């Protein structure tokens, strides 16, 4: 039987257009300025990275045209390919373009990108892209077309209904399938305005990165019951803009820098979408959000996801190079790994030396959802059982006592896990990947650990025949020792303890003559 003609699916796609200008100085807030100062002439610009930009229609091009045509004006030097036919100018597509591949890197221009070196851009209208221009859904007997571009950006959304749920869920499955098969990185927008629900298209995909706003004025909440694995929180990362249409391509431009750096490094798997996603999420900052929180089974904050984009921190993770698991020596404080695991564990050791403390540790584990073409004559994807990875942070005492659990992430809904802790005492720590047995799956782990000198104070007070020592500005869990000396030359330990709070006291009989005391910070 010959294949049936493809079914055309039409719906209204919400255009996330804002009339307000983007917030100023976002290149500083997102770490771009800091990275440029650090790298100087070696700063990447997206050169060699190509992108696909999908827009709601009917107009969908950043400049009017058809076929493959050169850009002009601010887009001079770029080549556009109109994948969905002739189109007039779309101001929305133009502004998305400025934030993804435009010529400016300073927000003083009004619209800035991190990747002005991108020159090859495929442009799609969303109805066309979800139909035969890329996804090819329904009874076409065909998989999605192969994506030859490095990055896809979706600055549009759509909500499903009971009537469209099956079709839209098929779109999400096809996108996840294509990302895993072709290895491109994909950014998807959530809706604008707090209080809106998470849209099904395209933010509810597993293998893309959904983007919201640092001011929290975007849709939040779990993925709906109309898609696979409902209950996953979106967005996964935020950026300081006034509309998700601009935040999403700006995050995509950050991914372009990481992919360019990864390609230059020639390290295997550094360019994989799982790795790029892990770099971005582990680099995201939370200091902007005092109420940020997660739990052992919910790895993201309900409003701000992993936090705010910081390309400088993400690049430091990539630059820490890929680390092998299960080595007996500690790994760098900013680095990553790529592991294939069917069962068991994979460990990465980190040290916080005596005299310092860990101001913040952020680690993400990311893997792809995989899908299989079910038998039956047409291309109908069935999700494979989602690999159930877990991520734990444990403190390893110097003695042979068991590890001490510090944080864990063990969700069964997500294809990511996250551990995050502040104010860690000096000790050796273990990041442990584990999973329930199953088919071997790849996963990327990325982490950054920041440390600083720990400078507690020690005060002494004498009352009668007793001297009382008070240690302050301690880190809970820090191993400490009090020493005494009659002459500042020979020292003897008088008391060892583990700080249970930010201060601790110790009393002993006062002895005749002068006595000196000091506080030593020890590994645990």
Distances in whole angstroms, Cα of residue 155 to Cα of each of 53, 212, 340: 8, 11, 33
Distances in whole angstroms, Cα of residue 328 to Cα of each of 358, 406, 471: 21, 20, 34
Q: Is the dihedral of CA 326, 329, 333, 335 positive or negative?
A: negative
Which pTM value belongs to this model?
0.94
Please report the domains of the chain, with CATH numbers, ordered by start residue.
334-453 (2.60.120.380), 457-522 (2.60.40)
The answer to whether 433 and 425 have CB atoms below 8 angstroms apart is no
Neighbours of 221 (CB within 10 A): 16
The answer to whether 121 and 55 have CB atoms below 8 angstroms apart is no
Question: Which residues does residue 507 pair with via DSSP β-bridges, in sequence order?
Answer: 468
Q: Count CA atoms within 13 Å of residue 436 on its CB side.
A: 7
Secondary structure of residue 219 in the 3-state scheme: coil
Alpha helices, DSSP H only, in 284-339?
311-319
Closest residue by Cα to residue 135 from 145, 123, 127: 145
The answer to whether 351 and 429 have CB atoms below 8 angstroms apart is yes
| pLDDT tens by residue, the chain, 524 residues | 233 333 444 444 454 544 444 455 899 999 999 999 999 999 999 999 999 999 998 999 999 999 999 999 999 999 999 999 999 999 999 999 999 999 999 999 889 999 999 999 999 999 999 999 999 997 567 899 999 999 999 999 999 999 999 999 999 999 999 999 999 999 999 999 999 999 999 999 999 999 999 999 999 999 999 999 999 999 999 999 999 999 999 999 999 999 999 999 999 999 999 999 999 999 999 999 999 999 999 999 999 999 999 999 999 999 999 999 999 999 999 999 999 999 999 999 999 999 999 999 999 999 999 999 988 778 889 999 999 999 999 999 988 789 999 999 999 999 999 999 999 999 999 999 999 899 999 999 999 999 999 999 999 999 999 999 999 999 999 999 999 999 999 999 999 999 999 999 999 999 888 999 999 998 88
């Amino acid at each position: 039987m010959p294949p049936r003609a493809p079914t055309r699916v039409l719906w209204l796609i919400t255009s996330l257009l804002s009339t307000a200008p983007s917030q100023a100085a976002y290149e500083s807030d997102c770490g771009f300025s800091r990275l440029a100062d650090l790298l100087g002439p070696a700063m990447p610009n997206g050169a060699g990275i190509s992108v696909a930009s999908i827009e709601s229609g009917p107009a969908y091009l950043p400049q009017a045209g058809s076929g493959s045509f050169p850009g002009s004006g601010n887009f001079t030097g770029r080549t556009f390919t109109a994948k969905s036919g002739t189109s007039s100018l779309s101001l929305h597509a133009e502004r998305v373009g400025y934030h993804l591949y435009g010529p400016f890197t300073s927000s003083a221009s009004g619209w800035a990108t991190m990747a002005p070196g991108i020159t090859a851009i495929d442009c799609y209208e969303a109805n066309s892209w979800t139909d035969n221009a890329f996804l090819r859904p329904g009874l076409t007997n065909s998989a999605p077309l192969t994506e030859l571009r490095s990055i896809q950006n979706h600055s549009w959304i759509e909500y499903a209904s009971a009537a469209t749920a099956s079709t839209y869920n098929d779109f999400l499955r096809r996108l996840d399938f294509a990302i895993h098969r072709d290895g491109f990185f994909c950014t998807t927008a959530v809706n604008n305005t707090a209080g809106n629900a998470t849209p099904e298209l395209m933010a509810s995909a597993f293998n893309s990165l959904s983007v919201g706003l640092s001011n929290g004025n975007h849709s939040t909440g779990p993925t709906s019951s109309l898609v696979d694995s409902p209950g996953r929180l979106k967005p996964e990362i935020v950026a300081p803009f006034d509309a998700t249409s601009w935040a999403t391509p700006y995050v995509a431009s950050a991914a372009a820098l990481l992919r360019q750096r990864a390609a230059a490094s020639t390290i295997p798997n550094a360019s994989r979408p799982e790795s790029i996603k892990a770099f971005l999420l582990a680099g995201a900052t939370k200091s902007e959000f005092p109420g940020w929180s997660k739990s052992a089974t919910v790895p993201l904050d309900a409003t701000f996801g992993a936090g705010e984009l910081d390309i400088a921190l993400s690049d430091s993770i990539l630059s820490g190079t890929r680390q092998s698991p299960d080595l007996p020596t500690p790994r760098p404080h900013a680095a990553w790994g790529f592991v294939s695991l069917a069962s068991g564990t994979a460990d990465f050791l980190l040290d916080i030396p005596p005299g310092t403390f860990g101001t913040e540790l952020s680690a993400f584990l990311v893997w792809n959802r995989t899908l299989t073409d079910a038998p039956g004559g047409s291309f109908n994807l069935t999700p494979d059982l989602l690999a159930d990875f877990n991520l734990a942070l444990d403190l390893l005492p110097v003695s042979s006592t068991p590890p001490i659990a510090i944080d864990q992430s063990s969700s069964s809904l997500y294809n990511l896990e996250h551990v995050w802790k502040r104010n860690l005492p000096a000790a050796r720590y273990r990041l442990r990947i584990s999973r329930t047995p199953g088919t071997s799956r790849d996963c990327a782990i990325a982490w950054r650990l920041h440390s600083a000198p720990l400078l507690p104070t020690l005060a002494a007070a004498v009352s009668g025949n007793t001297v009382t020592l008070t240690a302050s500005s301690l880190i809970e869990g820090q191993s400490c020792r009090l020493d005494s000396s009659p002459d500042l030359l020979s020292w003897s330990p008088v008391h060892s303890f583990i700080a249970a709070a930010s201060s601790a006291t110790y009393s002993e009989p006062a002895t005749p003559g002068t006595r000196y005391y000091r506080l030593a910070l020890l590994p645990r």
